[in-house]
Chain A
Amino acid sequence: MEEKQLAIVRHSKMDPSLDPIRAQIIALLPRLRRFAIALTGSIADGDDLVQDTVERALKGVHLWEKGTRLDSWMFRIARNRFIDGRRSAKREGTVIAEAPEELGSASLDGEQALMAHLTLKDLLFALHRLPVEQREAVALVLIEGASYRDASDMLDIPIGTLTSRIARARESLTTALGE
């Protein structure tokens, strides 16, 4: 586990009065956030999606089966909320951005942060040109490092479907990012 994530886990464990389920959710925030930002194409929308996911998960936490993976369950909620949001936006005739928005309020601290910011902007732009099905597969396998088995479970698709989506996404991304 990386240092930053360890810090969040420590932060969530510092408060002994915190319900263990809430501590686990806090520890999951970095992963959920990367997934949500990759899906939505913007930090602000990704953060909104994470907040919605957390609220939704807590509201229905009795539906989570103890002993099963909380991370998989929450990723599924995030994905379903994102897809539902897109469907309802389409029904209501809301214009869905075709390109990622500005990255919003990411704090810039020095040249390294600026470079990271620009890198992320390029990545989001390239990701946003992929169909959602490919985007979520990339987010789980290439960004999160999930195994094919875990990713196919989370997305509820066969492994063969997952690998062909990743293969098509790889072609598009290597072209778009000049790899």
Chain B
Amino acid sequence: MELDRDKLDRFVDGELPPGEMERIAAVLTDSPEQNAYVVRQESLRNRLREGFHALDGSIPERLIQAARTAPASWRWRLRAAQKPNRLFRWLAPACATLLLGFVAGVSLVPQGDLVTSTSGQVIAQGALDKALDGQLASEASAGPVRIGISFRNKAGQVCRTFNNGNNAGLACHNAGVWVVAMLVRQVPEDAGAAYRMAGSEMPDAVRRAVTASIRGEPFDATMEAQAARDRWPQIRTSGH
């Protein structure tokens, strides 16, 4: 059996089929020179492996902390925020209908505690208006509305996602009011149990609306707080 260096290296690295590994092992017993080569290479492999694996007991805390806390891509966070569940898949056609109704005519949007319609626009009111205006995403919410992410849209307006358990949506600040660009109604999972979305959850339709309208990246906590202090100013953008 012809045993060149390449074959012997593959033997040492376990890269040959089992039958061939056995045949080579048998040949090596009668070939002292080639056997010595294999022994040297196995020794090298073991030395490298043991030398480097000795490092494993001392993983620096800073690396673990980086993995735990370094900022993750906002696109990933958006994706993770949308936790698909059987309910939402089942509801998707219904949600689409609701959204279509929203776009087709404000009169189709149910009036209620969250929104009102004025001059063809859906405007946040009550607890929603209060939360959008003054609540930071990082704050524990005492009220019914939780704020998700804040960002600037392509028109330069500040927009924020929200969720009150029964409804989730997106509103953008324009001329001193919060214009609700999207509202998705959630319904209880079953007749007897009130379904409340977790604060971080965001329906797929809202996530898509954010992705389609965002300019740059979402605000971090500092930017969000500054925008709140400045009363959510719109900035000029080219083309708007």
Q: Which residues of A contact B (CB under 8 A)?
A: 2, 4-5, 8, 11-12, 18-19, 21-22, 25-26, 29-30, 33-34, 37-38, 43, 47, 50-51, 54-55, 58-63, 106-107, 113, 116-117, 119-120, 122-123, 138, 141-143, 145, 147-148, 163, 166-167, 170, 173-174, 177, 179
Contacts and interface: CB of A to CB of B under 8 A. Distances in A.
Interface of B: 5-6, 9-10, 13, 15, 40-41, 43-45, 47-60, 62-64, 66-68, 70-73, 75-76, 79-80
B72 A142 contact: no
A173 B41 CA distance: 10
B73 A60 contact: yes
17 contacts: A11-B64, A21-B72, A30-B56, A34-B56, A37-B52, A47-B63, A50-B63, A54-B63, A58-B73, A59-B73, A62-B79, A113-B54, A120-B54, A142-B13, A148-B13, A163-B10, A170-B9
B67 A26 contact: yes
Contacts of B58: 106-107
A51 to B, nearest CB: 5
A59 B66 contact: no
A41 to B, nearest CB: 12
A26 B64 contact: yes
A123 B54 CA distance: 12
A18 B65 CA distance: 12
B66 A55 contact: yes
Contacts of A62: 73, 75-76, 79
Contact of A123 (B10, B48, B71, B76): B48
A29 B67 contact: yes
- Dominant SS among interface residues on chain A: helix
A12 B71 CA distance: 17
B15 A148 contact: yes
A34 B55 contact: yes
Most buried by A among B13, B41, B59: B59
Nearest to B74: A62
A5 B57 CA distance: 9
A34 B54 CA distance: 10
Contacts of A55: 66, 70
A33 B9 contact: no
A26 B60 contact: no
A122 B62 CA distance: 26
Nearest to B68: A22
B47 A177 contact: yes
Given A62-B79, A163-B6, A47 B60 contact: yes
B81 to A, nearest CB: 11
Most buried by B among A62, A63, A122: A62
Contacts of A106: 55, 58
A38 B71 contact: no
Contact of B41 (A2, A12, A117, A170): A170
A11 to B, nearest CB: 8
